[in-house]
Structure 1
Amino acid sequence: GWDVLTTMVLTQSTRGDHKRWNSWVVGREALSEVDRLDFVEMVEDEKVQYWVNRWETDNTSWHKDEVNPELLKHSSHLLLKNPATVLLPLCGKTLDLEWLYNQGHNVIGIEATELAIVQFFKERNIPHKTSQLQGQGKCFTKYQSLDERLTVFLGNIFTFSPEILGKVDAVWDRGSLVAIHKEDRPRYSLFIKSILSDNFRILLDAIEYDEALFDGPPRVITRETVDTLYGSFCNYEILEEVDRSKEAYKKNPNLKWFKSVVYIFTPK
């Protein structure tokens, strides 16, 4: 609600890169409904711009020039048929897109940063076409391989119409749920749940560390968070826990421990 939005902006406005949000913190009676919608859109744009800036300044330490080892190891849990329709939300230019595509699957990515998508198709040398489409009042660009088995949509996942995707058999959530703000997690999970086929699978690479020492991104996804977001909807189990403390310590010496927790979600 509006109280949540105001609180969020008050919190965020203490950070240097969100100073201009202060001008929006006014009494609820002072804003018309149109103003409130403009406010929400502005907040969304700020969040997207953060990631655009990261890509434009080549500050993308999460990107790896290899296929994710957790995907390779656990793909049999995720992919029950071939071809499957697989979604990678907030995909960046991950090589996982190409790997899944080369396995014969129909692959869909959603990414808010155009530079990441352009670099992906150029660096992977995948001939493609582009087209425009509408999603909840927003214009999206669709980048698609010529055989139409690999598609990456440019736009904000929160203004994306689920109807555009249809149903997907599998979701590979690496670097997506851990990237978004905590207050956005419920609507993110609602979006994911709305596009799943009956016999779906979700593979989630979650992160755990001491939040008192670092607040992300990537953000902590606790077992309680997983249960809150998905527990009433599906079954889930932990496939693997990977200690990444040494790798994390090199990037942030404050982190004394850091681990990846891989979940598989299945229908109830």
Structure 2
Amino acid sequence: MSTDAVGGTLDNDGWKNMWDKGETDFHQSTFDRFLDLRKAELLGENRSVFLPLCGKTLDIIWFYNHGFKVSGVEIAELAVQQFFSENNIECKVESLQTVPGKLYKSIDNKIQLYVADMFEMTPELCGQFDIIWDSKAFVAINRSDRQKYINTLVSLMKKEGRYYLASIDYDPAVWPGPPHSCPDKVIVSNYSGRFNIEILKDADEVMKQKPETREETPVQKHEYDTIQSAFQASSYLLFRWYKMTLK
């Protein structure tokens, strides 16, 4: 699939190009607030975590500092390089043998970030994990790839593991994605076949309350230069977390 900005799709080269150009408004300058909110729940005996489409998120540092073995995958090598350099973590790099890509590892091997295609990840390559930490990764995936994405993550999840997913719900008329607007019905329709789903409403970040009706026709995406400006134009904006376990 090729990149189609108007249609809301990005291929691997499109994502790498965004990192090369510094168009990374989606990157957060701190770790997700949900980590501290659910800290007691997350810090169980089994502490291995996998972050799909991890970029250079500081969630990695939070998990690392709390004793987790952290793995992630990111197609843009620049993002992984910046993660290690900006956090002053010495790393070693090796080429992957079974799929195209590289593995960046901290010296203590507790952080392992794969520069590879998300859909190339297998248990044989990277193992299976106690926690899948999907902090707005599903919302970045092209709609046509969603089931393949879920199947990949199911294969990387231990049978008794937990899958935490963060979504965004906004008026899709103002921005085609990514990130895509994913209200509850989208999460349920894509995940309910494989997962038990718990909506963690206590963790909601309601930036703008969703109205019962919308009278004004929103301006289309081409009127906005950034996702932030589109979010500001949306009549509603909600960040929501879900906790899922395998059926």
TM over 0.5: yes
Q: Following TM superposition, by how much is the alpha carbon of 1:111 offset from its aligned partner in structure 2, in angstroms? A: 0.3
Q: 1:17 to 1:251 in 2, by over 3 A?
A: closer
- Name stretches of at least 5 consecutive residues in structure 1 with no aligned partner: 19-45
Q: Any runs of at least 4 consecutive aligned residues in structure 1 with deviations exceeding 4 A, and if so which? A: 12-18
CA distance in 2, matches of 1:69, 1:232: 29
Say yes or no: does 1:234 pair with 2:198.
no
Q: Following TM superposition, by how much is the alpha carbon of 1:166 offset from its aligned partner in structure 2, in angstroms? A: 1.4
CA distance in 1, matches of 2:122, 2:154: 13
CA distance in 1, matches of 2:185, 2:94: 41
Give 1:152's match in structure 2, choosing from 96, 103, 113.
113
Which residue number corresponds to residue 113 of structure 1?
Answer: 76
Say yes or no: does 1:130 pair with 2:93.
yes
Which residue number corresponds to residue 214 of structure 1?
Answer: 175
Q: Following TM superposition, by how much is the alpha carbon of 1:210 offset from its aligned partner in structure 2, in angstroms? A: 1.6
Q: Following TM superposition, by how much is the alpha carbon of 1:17 offset from its aligned partner in structure 2, in angstroms? A: 11
Q: 1:209 to 1:130 in 2, by over 3 A?
A: same
- Name stretches of at least 5 consecutive residues in structure 2 with no aligned partner: 210-225
Which residue number corresponds to residue 98 of structure 1?
Answer: 61
CA distance in 2, matches of 1:141, 1:78: 29
AA aligned to 1:151 is Q
Say yes or no: does 1:60 pair with 2:38.
no
Is the 1:78–1:201 contact (alpha carbons within 8 Å) kept by the matching residues of 2? no
Is the 1:78–1:203 contact (alpha carbons within 8 Å) kept by the matching residues of 2? no
Which residue number corresponds to residue 263 of structure 1?
Answer: 242
Which residue number corresponds to residue 48 of structure 1?
Answer: 12
CA distance in 1, matches of 2:243, 2:129: 15
Larger relative contact order (Cα-Cα within 8 Å, sequence gap ≥ 6): 2
Q: Following TM superposition, by how much is the alpha carbon of 1:159 offset from its aligned partner in structure 2, in angstroms? A: 2.5
Percent of matched pairs sharing the same residue: 32
CA distance in 1, matches of 2:8, 2:161: 39
Q: 1:178 to 1:249 in 2, by over 3 A?
A: closer
Is the 1:79–1:170 contact (alpha carbons within 8 Å) kept by the matching residues of 2? no
Which residue number corresponds to residue 143 of structure 1?
Answer: 104
Q: 1:254 to 1:196 in 2, by over 3 A?
A: same
Say yes or no: does 1:76 pair with 2:37.
no
CA distance in 2, matches of 1:89, 1:14: 22
Between structures 1 and 2, the one with greater helix share: 1
Is the 2:175–2:227 contact (alpha carbons within 8 Å) kept by the matching residues of 1? no
Give 1:191's match in structure 2, choosing from 152, 155, 160.
152
Is the 2:136–2:168 contact (alpha carbons within 8 Å) kept by the matching residues of 1? no
Q: Following TM superposition, by how much is the alpha carbon of 1:59 offset from its aligned partner in structure 2, in angstroms? A: 1.2
Is the 1:200–1:266 contact (alpha carbons within 8 Å) kept by the matching residues of 2? yes
Normalising to structure 1: TM-score of the pair? 0.78
Q: 1:213 to 1:166 in 2, by over 3 A?
A: same
